[in-house]
Amino acid sequence: MNEPNDEIKIESGVPMPEPRAGSGKWQNLLSQMKIGDSFFIADTGTYALWGRMKSASKQLKIKLATRKEGTGVRVWRIE
């Protein structure tokens, strides 16, 4: 079996790219919200949706709170 050092080469001076804007949909929505504003997401389905929204909120330095509401989730901007 090959040792990791045989396959992996350490490089210096390679600039790190800017973060991808993959959460653009959520960034657009969240950036329009004022503190106290909320929206409802019907039947969220998976945690992946929340993960993308949370990632966008961190990039924008916005804090969110969620509460289950019927068959979905309501999301508030709290900071």
pLDDT for 10 equals 87
Residue 64 lies in a domain: yes
Q: Does any domain span residue 13?
A: no
Q: Is residue 12 in a domain?
A: no
The answer to whether position 11 is within a domain reads no
Looking at residue 25, its pLDDT comes to: 85
Domain assignment present for 10: no
Range of the domain at 29: 23-77
Q: Does residue 1 lie within any of the structural domains?
A: no
Q: How many domains does the chain have?
A: 1
Residue 45: the pLDDT is 66
Contact 28, 39 (CB under 8 A): no
Provide the residue-wise pLDDT of the chain in tens; the chain has 79 residues: 556 667 888 899 999 887 665 558 889 999 999 999 999 988 766 667 778 888 899 989 999 998 888 888 889 999 9
For 66, other C-beta atoms within 10 Å of its C-beta total: 15
At 29 the pLDDT is 92
